[in-house]
Structure 1
Amino acid sequence: MPYIIADDLPDQPAGIRFRALLDRPQILRMPGAHLGIAALLAKKAGFEALYMSGAAMSATMGLPDLGMITVDDVAWHIRQVVRASALPVLVDGDTGYGEALNVMHMVRCFEEAGAGAVHLEDQLLPKKCGHLNDKKLAGADEMCAKVAAARRARRNLVVIARTDAVASEGMDAAVDRAKRYLDAGADAIFPEALVTADMFREFAARMPGVKLLANMTEFGRTPFFTAEEFQAMGYAMVIWPVSHLRIAARAMEDLYTAIAREGGTHTCVDRMQTRTQLYETINYHAYESLDASLIATVVPEAMPQGS
């Protein structure tokens, strides 16, 4: 059941609730959900925390994932996801939108919007998807300063440091960076773009006792692994960052193609969520019942047929 206007909000900050989920023995599964309706559908499927991808938010705005969106853009997405689902969310903080002071501003904005966790990456702008070539890394000292700034600014927010160093500097450098980020105040580590199970196992073995995040993105460098397989390799969290957007974008593309080709949506209706299902998802009638001046809506049971 989604939270609605008259319901009580959760009695603990999102960061505390995220940390409690992370402290359980089982891996924390977080599908991407950067829109309110996606958050409701993920919650309905049983997920207890969500991930908000910068790539997904950028693409939704018609932009590439090159660090072009702003703190306010992301905070707008956070507010709707948290309002809709009341679930703790891990938010992609990219490179922190600048230097240490910008990172502190980002952390405060994201936490005030309702985020439970954020991850920062050690790339330079213009940043790229972690699974693409020619990523430019910031110096370890610079990244440590950002991590320390995030730690100082947060109240309860969980701070995760992402390193993209494996691809360009190798495993030893990535592990060294990760250890330095932990010393600077990170709560967990996100090693990006590992390409084999052996690499995932090695990184975990060299970071004993550290909470690690795995990224299961499609069309990238990482082979397909299940949540259970990641857990067996030593990982405490896994995200599927852009999967929901890819599914939705393909469905929209098919719809527009059908309308252009056939002059209507009649061949696509069987692939649509019905009005009843949509209203159940967004809890339409519960909202309606809060206002006595509204007459209860009667949902049409079937589409009228043309003459």
Structure 2
Amino acid sequence: MSTSHIQTLRAMLREEKGVILPGAPNALAARIIADLGFKAVYLTGAGLTNMHLGLPDLGFMDLSQVADHVMAIRCVIDLPLIVDIDTGFGNAVNVTHTVRILEQAGASAIQIEDQHAPKRCGHFDGKELISLEEMVGKVRAAVDTRRQDLVVIARTDACAVEGFEAAIERAGRYIEAGADVTFVEAPESLEDLKAVPRRLMAPQLVNLVLGGKTPIIDEKAAAEMGFSLVLYANAALQGAVHGMLSTLSALKEKGVLDERAVTSFAERQRLVDKPAFDLMGARYAAHAARDNGQRRT
């Protein structure tokens, strides 16, 4: 498998600021993100849990489920793919297995966090952290295990538990352990948000959760602050839910729907690349017909 998507991501982190990173809860969402011209895709753990299992983001996904979705997405897009692995599915030894599996599945980067399992959404209350030393071990395990220059992103949820200064200290230690990018989750003031890229000597990711705890800033402001990646992990999911509620409410109320109320049938087929499969089918049907004709003669 080509690993050019990893080098594309590394170049992006070196050379660009304020890159919008939409989250995808499944392969169709990833196709739409690519179709619209975004530069990278984030496989969201919360979105995957909500969409695939219909459950809240409380640590219900396992490694095999995540790997299946990574493979599905990698089969349909060439963009860099950043994969949320929550707490790494266990201790540092388990992290080594997670990294091997997801590298082979097609991840460009993994993002691991310092919550105690089972984790909670970064914008939920009641989070608990593992020790700094244990998380440093997990980061080192991920860095030591990678074989294809996979990007390692270390997230800390310390803002809500130990305070902003502790979050900066933890992120700094994760950089020392080899993390390529750090992600200080849920700073609650604009002042703290601005301080993150100024105080940490590695590329930074900011997570903008619609309805969450972090102030929402635009792409230009994020770039000026120094953030490399601007994550909207579940904007696509929330938009899809909004569309489903609107469409299905209209169906229930009126008892009938018009195609004008939804994405067209033709557009749905285009987004899943059906014309390419039609051409493929015609090509191989022609080969089969020619081969049958030759056998008869």
Do they fold alike, i.e. is TM over 0.5?
yes
**Which residue does the alignment assign to 1:193?**
186
**Which residue does the alignment assign to 2:172?**
179
Measure how far apart 1:294 and its partner are. Answer: 5.8
Q: Secondary structure at the match of 1:190?
A: strand
147, 160, 169: which one pairs with 1:167?
Answer: 160
| Alpha carbons 1:107, 1:153 under 8 Å: kept | yes
Measure how far apart 1:214 and its partner are. Answer: 0.3
| Alpha carbons 1:79, 1:113 under 8 Å: kept | yes
Q: Quick one: distance in 2 between partners of 1:42 and 1:283?
A: 14
Instruction: Establish whether residue 25 from structure 1 lines up as the match of residue 16 from structure 2.
Output: yes
* 1:195-216, Cα deviation, whole Å (9 max, x unpaired): 1221111222221x31000001
Query: Where does the alignment leave 5 or more consecutive residues of structure 2 unmatched?
Result: 287-297
TM-score (norm 1): 0.88
**Which residue does the alignment assign to 1:45?**
36
Q: Quick one: distance in 1 between partners of 2:48 and 2:257?
A: 27
* 1:3-27, Cα deviation, whole Å (9 max, x unpaired): xxxxxx7x43432221122111333
Instruction: Establish whether residue 276 from structure 1 lines up as the match of residue 266 from structure 2.
Output: yes
36, 45, 68: which one pairs with 2:60?
Answer: 68
Q: Quick one: distance in 1 between partners of 2:183 and 2:142?
A: 16
5 Å-filtered alignment, 1:126-165, equals 126-155=118-147, 156-165=149-158
Instruction: Establish whether residue 85 from structure 1 lines up as the match of residue 77 from structure 2.
Output: yes
Q: Quick one: distance in 2 between partners of 1:111 and 1:29?
A: 23
Q: Read off the aligned partner of 2:270 and give its amino acid letter.
A: E
Query: Where does the alignment leave 5 or more consecutive residues of structure 1 unmatched?
Result: 1-8, 296-307
Q: Quick one: distance in 1 between partners of 2:248 and 2:270?
A: 26
After superposition, the CA RMSD in angstroms is 1.7
* 1:230-286, Cα deviation, whole Å (9 max, x unpaired): 1111211111001111111121122222333322323xx323111221222222112
190, 207, 218: which one pairs with 2:210?
Answer: 218
| Alpha carbons 1:67, 1:94 under 8 Å: kept | yes
Measure how far apart 1:166 and its partner are. Answer: 1.4
Question: How many residues in Structure 1 have an aligned counterpart in Structure 2?
Answer: 283
Q: Quick one: distance in 2 between partners of 1:294 and 1:227?
A: 49
Q: Read off the aligned partner of 1:80 and give its amino acid letter.
A: A
* 1:81-125, Cα deviation, whole Å (9 max, x unpaired): 121111111111101111011111111111111110111111001
**Which residue does the alignment assign to 1:253?**
245
Q: Read off the aligned partner of 1:197 and give its amino acid letter.
A: L
TM-score (norm 2): 0.90
